[in-house]
Amino acid sequence: MEGRTSVLKHRKPLSRWTVAGLTAASALALTGCSAELNAQWARWGLPEAASEQAPHIENLWVGSWIASMIIGAFVWGLIFWVMFRYRKKSDDQVPRQTRYNLPMELLYTLVPFLIIGVLFFYTVQAQNAVLAKATGPVHEVNVIGQKWSWTFNYMEAQNPAVGAVVYEAGTIERIPDLYLPVNKPVRFNLASADVIHSFWVPQFQFKLDVIPGLLNSFDVTPNREGVFLAKCAELCGTYHAAMLFNVHVVSEAEYVTYLKGLAAKGQVGEKKPPAYPNTIPTAPAEKEGER
């Protein structure tokens, strides 16, 4: 014990420059080894978009960050300017006393309303763009969220290439797969079998709540092939973390082949898991010309 203490006493501590160098090297190793991570930072943390609707959210997100940084720089600049300009210069100096300053009061009252108004305007624009319905034919998927997995009903009875409604049902032990055709609009009808869930595909940069007794719907057009991990974004109970699913964006031919495979396995017809009474609404009938 004494020998160990002696060694510790004589060991030279690392210099501050050595510590700074090691810290910088570690940071470079962690951030520079992944081109995707660097690209994500360039998008202010957003994943690479994989749908036609995603750029509307990306533009709003990046624009909000830029506006926040400009406002922050202005506010901090004013703070430091006031600290320097009106600093105390002597012990007996008393600063000029001002009862009120009308221009200043107007500034800090009206400017926040202006900022909120601008952000509200662009938020509504982005919201309307991502919630706009497709004007032509769409593929339709009825999604059921249940504790604790997902059921996907592909409503393809009117599609001559498939000719049936087929389904894919996940369980808490098995993550389900959702297949979508690239560059084709898809309409999702979302319903819950029990509690509130949330359907979220990060690469689509959009999510929508899945609420018992309420049918939520949105259209999306995937425009990049790949496999993307999606999840429930609403804390829904004990095994919320297990509510994952894989989104496969594939060619039209691969999409049809997959659905035919489900039909060959006997997964035909719209599957609705056991639910509380009257919690799964019926999808609205299609209007003429939507398909």
33 phi/psi in degrees, rounded to 5? -85, -10
3-state secondary structure of 162: coil
Pairing of strands 216-220, 226-232: unpaired
Q: What is the pTM of this model?
A: 0.74
CB 60 within 8 A of CB 123: yes
192 token code pair: 């819950």
Binned at pLDDT 50, 70 and 90, residue 7 comes out as very low
For position 278, what pLDDT does the model report?
Answer: 56
Q: Rounded mean pLDDT of 67-92? A: 86
Average pLDDT, the chain: 82
CA–CA separation, 16 and 10 (whole Å): 18
* Residue whose pair of structure tokens reads 């700074």 in the numeric block: 20
